[in-house]
Amino acid sequence: MKLHELAAQTFANIDQGDPNLDILSAAGLDIAAPGDITFLANPKYTPQIHATRASAIFLGETIALDRPDIAILRAKDPYLAYTRALRIFNPDPEIIPSIHPSAIIHETAKIADRVEIMANAVIGANCEIGENVKVFPNATVYENVKIGADSVIHSGVAIRENCRIGARCIIHNNTTIGSDGFGYAKDEQQHWLKIPQVGRVVLEDDVEIGANTAIDCASVGETRIRRGAKIDNLVQIGHSCTIEEDALICSQTGLAGSSVIGKRVILAGQVGIAGHLRVGDDVVITAKSATSHDVEDGKIISGIPAFDNRDWLRSIAAFRRLGEMARTVRDLEKQIAELRRGKE
């Protein structure tokens, strides 16, 4: 691809270099080779731009670079422009329309004309599978499930009865969508009596779910993951939760039941969210934190339990010297007792 074509498709401007330069691929600063375009977004890596072997680079609008041998494309957000370049050079593979003879598809399922259903996949009764859907081997779709167009279901995925998967969703390997929520009532003998879990999970369009994640169905009603939300590996989403649009939930985070995660929220790795609460829009909860209370829109919180991130940074700094502080306080007690005795 010519440099000027790449610039146009990534909404960048050529600041330096031959518009007809051939760009073959995109790669990070350290591994880029001649023919590649690279990028600088994090100032931490600025020293590497002097050594990169890339033929071109996306830079922000203000950063200077004294490398006449490299083409420079200016972009408002170099990381976004680089992502677009990566997508151009690495398009999703086309589906190969086919149904493997070993796949088991119930006779009542409605399968679009153009799908790719691979070996040993199982599709249950009354399912509806949309155009361009790809189902990898050994995936299991229970009965009465709908999967929207262009979605990809990887091997080992389980989609339980009655769930809905939107268009352009990706579900990675061995993830479970719609297993029973964890609900019991204690009976008179102190045994746990199972509460039926007859709701479903709805994934709206453009949702991506990582590998080995578990999203429980609602007891009654639904667990809903809204348009554009992204969920990483090994995440737990409890029954009846709602994840709002464009929320991002990192690996090993867990949500108990019935909580609502607002739009564009970022839950970093290993976060915990208790049940029946609301995390407001645009909140960030930093890694390994947990909350059992509602969180206002736009807050950044940390800790177990979590509170304002700046206060938390001060608290943890003091915590490192807490043993010493305890000794100091004991010493002050003694000194004051002495001073008081001196006065008597």
Residue 39 CA from chain centroid, whole number: 23
Would residue 172 show up in a list of annotated catalytic residues for this protein? no
* Cβ nearer to its own copies, comparing 100 with 110: 100
Q: How far is the CB of 285 from its own copies (least distance, A)?
A: 13
What are the CA-CA distances from residue 4 to residues 41, 57, 59, 63 (Å)? Answer: 21, 13, 15, 21
H/E segment holding residue 159: strand 158-159
Return d(Cα 194, Cα 205) in angstroms, integer. 32
Q: What length is written for the chain? A: 344
Rounded-to-integer distance, Cα 25 and Cα 36, Å: 5
Annotated catalytic residue, options 100, 172, 239, 276: 239
Nearer to its own copies, 16 or 233 (CB): 233
Comparing CB distances to its own copies, the nearer of 21 and 251 is 251
CB 73, CB 15: distance < 8 Å: yes
Comparison of 16 and 307: residue with beta carbon closer to its own copies: 307
Place of tokens 């960030």: 284
Least distance from C-beta 99 to its own copies, angstroms?
13
CA–CA distance from 63 to each of 4, 48, 180 (Å)? 21, 14, 53
Tell me how far, at minimum, the Cβ of 260 lies from its own copies, in Å: 13
Indicate the burial class of 233 (C-beta count within 10 angstroms; 0-12, 13-18, 19 or more): middle
Question: Smaller CB distance to its own copies: residue 14 or 75?
Answer: 75
Q: Residue 68 CB, nearest distance to its own copies (Å)?
A: 26
Angle, vertex CA 231, rays to CA 45 and CA 219, nearest 5 = 160
Q: How far is CA 144 from CA 10, 120, 127, 246, 283, in A?
A: 41, 19, 5, 27, 36
What is the nearest approach in angstroms of its own copies to the Cβ of residue 313? 8
Active site residues: 239
